[in-house]
Structure 1
């Protein structure tokens, strides 16, 4: 099968449709996957020495949240370093980043793999990858034909990136500003999320970041308020200056003033030398005051003066010093109620909350759970030195069903714990995070399904016990197979059966 001019033209026409960038990308890889008759395809964005999936087809949904660092994925590194089509032989010893991530084929390795680096003005901006379980799937396609697909994808991706830069309406998801400040990037600082609440938050961050306004960041514990503060700083004109962090809840009353404003030698017992406070350290930069609601009223009054007039006075010093600091404050308390109760100053509250930002809880952004799962799984995979960590469909469903009272922080710790347990139990480089490894207090959806099945089977009085039992087993197996994309091995694990016994039972029930 050869690629026809018409098929390539159809792809080019589809890319011109008035769709949002992500929808256009999804249509692109879906069309190409159908054209090449492969099992999986992905469009990846290259930035900061890693590939970030923009659209996937045929892969587990958590892949969209994964970040593939070149340093730990040699195949993707080979694609990034290449200037043309990269074909990996079926017996290549380089681990494939998608092994175990094609639903319904958990035990099978990817055999055929092709990578197309995408360029704009000779600069790498992304890659297209195609994978197949058939080793000879791509043999009929020439490099020239595949390169034409890459050229179309490069144009579409570059256009979308240029539009994004012009609109300046979206927060760079890796902490990298479009001007190329890669030195400030840290993988754990990325704000992962495509849900509407996260899109709204990202828009508000982009609006306020370029101003000099003080920002009050509110939200439950574990939602990522520090990530929001970091994003504001990185997108602000002060990005090349320091952002100084101070946890107000961890400040003993006796040293809190010194921590904030500094002190001079001899100011009090133990002051054996001059000390620079956080305000001076953040001069011309940003000061992030976490848990601001825990400050005492006395310190609140002194903080208010610095914010109002920019005048700083060290403990034990008569003279004042001018500082230029932007304040970002965060709290999980209701400061408005605290002002009514008299535990927080009204004037300070209004000074801090010039532009309030609310960070949604994980319950309010359920659509991001799968993405976050992939993001954290890839991080812990690197830390544990594992080849692959996969998340079965029933595990992802369980993660989405849980309320996560500890929000993103709790979810990260739960995945880390499950990965450590899986490594110890499975004792191999590739591990599967089964749902029982999480030990989450969640009602089992299977129990409700079983109750429905029992009610359905027993509703007919014409069935004897054996017939009713067999009917229940058939329906139970059929539902489990459907939930696991007709994968018998995964279904056997979900049902607590040996896969051979499951096949024999299904045959006895007339299902095979």
Structure 2
């Protein structure tokens, strides 16, 4: 069997058709899978020494979220270095990155594998991978035919990247300049909510506007702040982080604005605050809603006039700092309740961003599961980590009160449990490896029954407090310790719930 001119023309036409890049690439690999009779095909984008899937066919959905570092995948490294068609022998000792990731054949190894590196002006921009269970699956196709396919795909991918660059919107996961491990800063997700969030980040990042990032605990607000800073004109300057919730009141002012020697007991030398450290750069104030009202007033002055005073110093210092703030509280309600200054709120929320909770992100759950599987595989030194389709269904159905952070921990814990049950370097995650209940099984809060009156001598206030304490603890237990979810279940504002918990001695 060989590729006819008609079939090659069909590929070319589909790559030039007036549909989105994502759909175009999906149709390309779907066509290739049919034409070449392969069991799986994938189009990968190359950047920063790793491949990331743009479109897949015949592979588990979670593959789209995986990031294949060349250092951890020798077959992909061989494709990246080859410069031409690569045919791996059926008995190759190099592990295939898709072993265990073909639905229905998780226990089988891929036997036939062809890699087509994609170039633009001699620069590697991606790869096409073709895999099959039959060792002789691609023997009838010549290298020249495969080179034609690679050339067509490379042209389409390069055009897509150029168009996205000109439009200023990163719809494809195109490269961003990041320091350190790129995977630690990447925002994984193709859901409508995440695409909209990425668009808004691309709009506001080049400006110097202050940004208020809101979202539940564990949704990835810090990643949003990093993305804004990386795409801003201050990217080569520091991004300074401060968790306002972890600031003791006694040192909060010094942490923000610094102090001079002798300003208070223990001030043995001059010390710069976070604002000075972030001068010309960006200051990320996490959990901004936890700042006290007096400190809010001092923060407002810096935002208004751009000058600050170290604790114990009469002199003013000028600073040029962009503020990114994050909160899991409803700050508008906090303003109405008198717990947050309205003028500071308006200064911070010049451009508000909202990070969607994981339960509203659909198939992003599978992508993130794949991303964390690959990270855990490398961390634990495993050959492969796959998720069965029933396990993926369970992950999609779960409510995820702890959002992405909870998913990451659940994946890592499941891998450890699966490996303990079946020792080996290849791990397949099944539903039993996850201590999760699907969303349908999560019951709404039931009112606690009071079958008898309080004991003699117990006041009405004490009895009421005891009832509230029981109710709050039960809601927190059902939500896995997530305060926002507990507040939603109880029908109260999360800030008010925090204050109630402090009064009742729970927090």
Compute the TM-score of the two structures, normalised by the length of structure 1: 0.85
- Which residue of structure 1 lines up, in the alignment, with residue 445 of structure 2? none
Q: Does 1:226 align with 2:222?
A: yes
1:121 matches 2:121: yes
Equivalent residue for 2:182? 186
Q: How does 1:334-345 map to 2 (within 5 A)?
A: 334-345=330-341
From 423, 430, 433, the equivalent of 1:427 is 423
Q: 1:371 maps to which residue?
A: 367
Distance, in Å, in 1 between the alignment partners of 2:171 and 2:129 is 26
Match of 1:392 in 2: 388
Q: How does 1:54-453 map to 2 (within 5 A)?
A: 54-170=54-170, 173=173, 176-177=175-176, 181-183=177-179, 186-442=182-438
Pairwise CA RMSD of aligned residues? Answer: 1.3
| Contact 2:54–2:172, Cα closer than 8 Å, also in 1 | no
**Deviation at 1:172?**
7.0
Taking structure 2 as the reference length, the TM-score comes to 0.85
Hey, what's the Cα distance between the residues in 1 that align with 2:440 and 2:350?
45
Distance (whole Å) between structure 2 residues aligned to residue 364 and residue 354 of structure 1: 25
Moved over 6 A (4+): none
The superposition leaves residues 238-296 of structure 1 with CA deviations (integer Å, 9 ceiling, x where unpaired) of: 11111000000000011111100011111110011111100000000000000000001
3-state secondary structure, aligned to 2:114: strand
Aligned mates of 1:155, 1:182 — CA distance in 2: 26
Paired with 2:440 and 2:110, the residues of 1 have a C-alpha distance of 33
Shift of 1:106: 1.8
Looking at structure 2, the residues matched to 284 and 172 of structure 1 have their Cα atoms a distance apart, in angstroms, of 31
CA drift of 1:367 comes to: 2.5
Instruction: State the match for 1:13 in structure 2.
Output: 13
Whether the aligned pair in 2 keeps the contact of 1:171 and 1:205 (CA below 8 Å) is no
How far apart in 2 are the matches of 1:63 and 1:280? 43
Gapped regions of structure 1 (runs ≥ 5): 446-512
Contact 1:243 1:282 in 2 (8 A): yes
Q: Is the 8 A contact 1:114 1:130 kept in 2?
A: yes
- TM-superposed deviation, 1:342: 0.9
Q: Does residue 49 of structure 2 align to residue 49 of structure 1?
A: yes
- Give yes or no for contact 2:191–2:363 (8 Å, CA) kept in 1: yes
Q: Which runs of 5+ in 2 are unaligned?
A: 442-507
State how far apart, in whole Å, the 2-side matches of 1:281 and 1:12 are.
54
Q: CA deviation at 1:189?
A: 1.1
- Matches of 1:4 and 1:171 in 2, distance apart? 33
Change in Cα spacing, 1:333 to 1:378, as seen in structure 2 (3 Å) is same
Following the alignment from structure 2 to structure 1, what is the Cα–Cα distance between the partners of residues 245 and 3? 63
Contact 2:178/2:230 (<8 A) preserved: no
Contact 1:48 1:182 in 2 (8 A): no
How much has 1:170 moved relative to structure 2?
Answer: 2.4
Cα distance in 2, alignment partners of residues 141 and 36 from structure 1: 8
CA distance in 2, matches of 1:182, 1:303: 29
- Deviation of 1:443 (Å): 6.3
Question: How far apart are residue 207 of structure 1 and its match?
Answer: 0.7
For 1:398 and 1:287, locate their aligned partners in 2 and report how far apart those are by CA, in whole Å.
Answer: 39
Deviation string, structure 1 residues 44-93 (Cα, Å, up to 9, x no partner): 00011100000001111111111100010000000001110011100000
What per-residue deviation string (whole Å, max 9, x for no partner) do you get for residues 133-190 of structure 1?
A: 111111111111111100000001001100110111226747x43xxx3545531211
Counterpart secondary structure, 2:99 = coil
Q: Is the 8 A contact 1:173 1:191 kept in 2?
A: no
